[in-house]
Amino acid sequence: MSIRLNFRWFSSVASVVGAITIGTFSSVTSPAKAAETVVVRKGILQSSISVADLRELAKTGKVPDRLQAYANLLSDAQRSQIYGALRAKIPLNVVGLSNLLNTGIGTAILTDLTTVIPRRDGAGVEALRSALVLGANAPEGLSVLSFIESYPSSRVVVDLDRAFAVLGNLNAGFWQTQRFMAAIAPQLAATKPAFNPPFDPTQPGPNSVRVLKLDLNDSARNRRIPVDVYWSRAATADKPTIVFSHGLGSVRTDLRYLAEHLASYGYVVAALEHPGSNETNTNAAIAGKSRLLAPQEFLDRPKDISFVLDELAKLNKTDDNLQGKIAIDRSMIIGYSFGGATALSVAGAELQLTKLKQRCQGDLIGFSLGEGIQCAAAGLPAERYQLRDVRIKRAIVMNPTTSLLFGETGLSAIQIPTLIVASSADKTTPALVEQIASFPKIPSPKWLVGFVGGTHLSVKDPSTTLDQVSRPSTVITGDELVGDQAASIRNYIKAISLAMAAQLTDEAEKYAIFLTPEYAQFASTNAIPVRLITEIPPETNAVVQTFIQGNK
């Protein structure tokens, strides 16, 4: 999932579905029977509520007298959840929503939700699908009320106890991460050390950056791969080539600020675009013209990296500006989100899909977006895949998806130094589930960086997160820390990326200080503390293992 949240239509659906599960609380044809009444069951009690009363509650925030006795049965938190759900309105592409709900994952989620909105006729899945698509076509977008008014029955029956249970399980990994952070809070407390770095690695290097745009074509796989090559006159084969892999539904400029920073220090940086999982492909999927994510993409993405390295090797022999300056056999990969899984694959992690295929046939309602994305790999025919590229000598992996793809031992096959980045408030790839729990499986040397309060999009270039300001806060998405608020995070990413790359040069010792816990604390702010470890401490690992066992 970066799930640039142009995969945003999936996340919006999931969050609104979550709202609808607490649900009480144009060109598309309307249903023959639109619901006028919501029948709410709580335990042995049952009450009928008119849609008109719900509209009054959503508009005024005041419980109508007719609903007061029922409202008294709920806690303050539950009343707040219902009111928030009633007011949530999310614009969605109707075609994209329809396409999603007709996938295997969409049908599985709808099946889970039929336990919340039961029907005696067994048509629950189709009724939910119809109401969601028709509700999304309402002028205000999809909301609880537009869903109810589009439901193909004169009444909607809601099991409120089951609804709250489902809501509490939405994005379980994110909530597990928050409980984990609370459990280790005393170990996070630390004062700033008396630390005086020899220079500031967050400042730009002395060299002017240029960008060479390539339009490559891998004819063997019928894949057109655009690449932006960032370089400066200081580029030299003594420094490793650095390759960037973006997230799902995203673009090669995801980390432009980082590419420019590294290039200003004389590194050659190649930011490529994966054609089967970039923004163009996602937009085509929304329009019903392609699949959102084909299983083969889990194999093609690592192969894209290898293909680009092959092409850069040719460029090293022929380009007037870069000839003799590109060090292919000492390369470093930086991957973000879904690109993090790609980076781990070329670093040597083995795809192990047996348990993934079993898990993805079960209840999906508690999955994060990152887990849901990994389920697409269930369509691959084999159980194991090894996609390592031996030219990759170091890896930086930011907010990756790891929980299902690599099985029990796949990450132990990594044979190069690896740095993992995790953000405690990441709703898309929750830190505990996707990064922290898997970190012990990665062989040393390794580093785990944690941004306390950071979110999934915090590491991205500000130019790619401008749409986050107006996004609603939901269980699945929203509340992203981006732009100026995340400046300290991006600065730290600049420093550690520069330091990791330098470990493949004669300047390794000079930059090693920036890969220490002391520098992480120095780089911390009151708003966003930073932590760096090379092993999970025993007392913290006990908490990790407790969560892992409870999640099996």
pLDDT tens digit sequence for 275-291: 999 999 988 887 777 78
H-run or E-run covering 158: strand 155-159
Of 121, 142, 170, which one is at a domain's C-terminal end? Answer: 170
- The more confident residue out of 471 and 526 is 526
Residues 295 and 352 both lie in one domain: yes
- Cα-based distances in Å from 507 to 291, 299, 447: 46, 35, 19
Residues 361 and 465 both lie in one domain: yes
| Cβ-contact 429, 459 below 8 angstroms | no
Residue 357 lies in a domain: yes
Q: Where are the alpha helices (DSSP H) in 290-365?
A: 297-318, 338-346, 354-359
Closest CA to 394 of 277, 275, 207, 267: 267
Average pLDDT over the chain reads 83
Tens of pLDDT along 485-519?
A: 999 999 999 999 999 999 999 999 999 999 999 99
Residue 459 lies in a domain: yes
- Cα-based distances in Å from 218 to 334, 347, 369, 379, 516: 22, 22, 30, 23, 40
Q: How many CB atoms lie within 10 A of CB 27?
A: 5
| Cβ-contact 250, 278 below 8 angstroms | yes
- pLDDT of 22 above 60: no
Question: How is the beta sheet containing 210-218 ordered, strand by strand?
Answer: 210-218, 223-231, 269-272, 240-245, 327-336, 392-398, 418-423, 446-451, 530-533
Q: How many domains does the chain have?
A: 2
When pLDDT is cut at 50, 70 and 90, the band that residue 5 belongs to is: very low
When pLDDT is cut at 50, 70 and 90, the band that residue 55 belongs to is: confident
* Six-digit token string for 267: 């590194």
* Six-digit token string for 531: 């932590």
What is the value of pTM for the model shown? 0.78
Mean pLDDT of 296-321: 97
Residues 233 and 157 both lie in one domain: no
- What is the 8-class DSSP label of residue 436? I
List the beta bridge partners of residue 156: 38
- pLDDT of 411 above 80: yes
Long-range contacts of 42-50, Cβ-Cβ distance < 8 Å, separation of 24 or more: 42/73, 42/160, 42/161, 43/161, 45/73, 48/155, 49/24
* Range of lowest pLDDT (158-162, 167-171, 485-489): 167-171
Residue 61 lies in a domain: yes
So what's the pLDDT on residue 114?
A: 75
| Cβ-contact 285, 96 below 8 angstroms | yes
- The more confident residue out of 107 and 437 is 437
Tens of pLDDT along 237-254?
A: 999 999 999 999 999 999
Residues 259 and 369 both lie in one domain: yes
- The CATH number linked to 195 is 3.40.50.1820
* Range of lowest pLDDT (93-97, 246-250, 391-395): 93-97
Tens of pLDDT along 173-192?
A: 666 776 676 665 555 555 66
Residue 182 lies in a domain: no
Which domain does 145 fall in, by range?
Answer: 8-170
